[in-house]
């Protein structure tokens, strides 16, 4: 006897009823056994279908989660007006000084972040410099891997981005330009911003404005990520 998989839903249901009736009409042990076997196979196939409305979930409701690709997250993008933005875990390490920009979801709904925040360094004299996108940082032992993670923040949870700069002059320079005393910060994709202090308590200095040998600013930011992916 040969069995065929029935893929159509309506046909599969009809097959289940048909085989059950065939088993009931059988008068011999042999045909009865075959009918039951056939009925079992078809009903097993029917029973393996997904129940409409069923869903699987993973992760803790209160924790920030991260996935390697953007996909199609259901949460809206985090915006400045719904975030608390601060500078934490500051210090100096391996020729760099900096800290972690902390983005805390201050709203009542989940939101998502992905990519580089927009950060502008402001000196005491008001000079503004747009910080670059770091590809790696000794400060946070971080390096960029494409695509940037998507971090989903439940209310009260936080995402982080490194902000760091070389703290020593390069080339023939004997000193660095005046440091950044404030940082103008926006989460990825939002034009609105907040301005916070650029003071680094752990380094006992403001964020350095040192330049590379070619004169380009060394200060920059990483992509947004989770705290668990950074030394702390």
pLDDT truncated to tens, each residue of the chain (232 aa)?
A: 333 434 444 444 444 444 344 444 443 333 333 333 334 433 333 433 343 333 333 333 344 666 544 444 589 999 999 999 999 999 998 899 999 999 999 999 999 999 999 999 999 999 999 999 999 988 778 899 999 999 999 999 999 999 999 999 998 778 999 999 999 999 999 999 999 999 999 999 999 999 999 989 999 999 999 999 888 6
Are both 16 and 111 inside the same structural domain?
no
Q: For residue 48, give the DSSP letter.
A: T
3-state secondary structure of 21: helix
CA 114 to chain centre: 6
Whether residue 112 sits in one domain with residue 28: no
What's the number of CA atoms in the CB half-sphere (13 Å) around residue 227? 15
35 and 146 fall within a common domain: no
Contacts of 137 (CB under 8 A, 6+ apart): 96, 98, 143, 162, 164, 220, 222
Across-strand partners of 186?
118
**Does 70 share its domain with 36?**
no
The answer on 69 and 42 residing in a single domain is: no
Total tally of structural domains belonging to the chain:
2
Q: Kindly report each contact of residues 189-198 with a partner whose C-beta sits within 8 Å and lies 24 or more positions away, as own/partner.
A: 189/77, 189/115, 190/77, 190/78, 190/79, 190/80, 192/79, 192/80, 192/81, 193/80, 193/118, 193/120, 194/80, 194/85, 195/122, 196/85, 196/86, 196/87, 197/87, 198/87, 198/121, 198/122
- Separation CA 153–CA 158 (nearest Å): 6
pTM value is 0.70
Domain interval for residue 120: 65-229
85 and 14 inside one domain: no
pLDDT tens digit string along 55-79? 333 333 344 666 544 444 589 999 9
Residues 88 and 196 occupy one common structural domain: yes
pLDDT of res. 129? 97
Q: Are residues 29 and 109 in the same domain?
A: no
Kindly state the tokens that stand for 68.
Answer: 């390697």
Judge residue 105's burial from the number of C-beta atoms within 10 Å of its C-beta, 0-12 exposed, 13-18 middle, 19 or more buried.
Answer: buried
In a domain, 211, yes or no: yes
Rounded to the nearest 10°, the torsion over CA 6, 12, 18, 24 is 90
Do 117 and 81 share a domain, yes or no? yes
| 126 shares a domain with 32 | no
């Amino acid at each position: 006897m040969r069995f065929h998989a029935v893929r159509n839903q309506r046909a599969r249901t009809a097959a289940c009823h048909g085989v059950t009736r065939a088993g009931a009409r059988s008068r011999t042990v042999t045909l009865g056994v075959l009918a039951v076997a056939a009925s079992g196979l078809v009903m097993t196939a029917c029973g393996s279908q997904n129940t409409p409305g069923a869903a699987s979930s993973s992760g803790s409701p209160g924790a920030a989660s991260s996935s390697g690709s953007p996909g199609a997250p259901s949460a809206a993008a985090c915006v400045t007006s719904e975030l608390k933005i601060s500078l934490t875990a500051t210090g100096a390490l391996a020729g760099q000084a900096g800290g972690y920009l902390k983005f805390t979801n201050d709203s009542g709904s989940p939101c998502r972040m992905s990519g580089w925040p927009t950060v502008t360094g402001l000196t005491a004299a008001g000079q503004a410099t747009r910080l670059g996108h770091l590809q790696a940082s000794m400060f946070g032992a971080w390096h960029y891997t494409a695509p940037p993670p998507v971090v989903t923040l439940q209310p009260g949870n936080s995402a982080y981005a490194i902000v760091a700069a070389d703290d020593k002059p390069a080339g023939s320079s004997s000193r660095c330009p005046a440091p950044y005393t404030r940082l103008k910060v926006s989460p990825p994709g939002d034009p609105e911003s907040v301005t916070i202090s650029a003071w680094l308590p752990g380094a006992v200095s403001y964020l350095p404005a040192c330049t590379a040998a070619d004169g380009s600013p060394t200060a920059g930011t990483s992509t947004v990520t989770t705290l668990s992916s950074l030394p702390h």
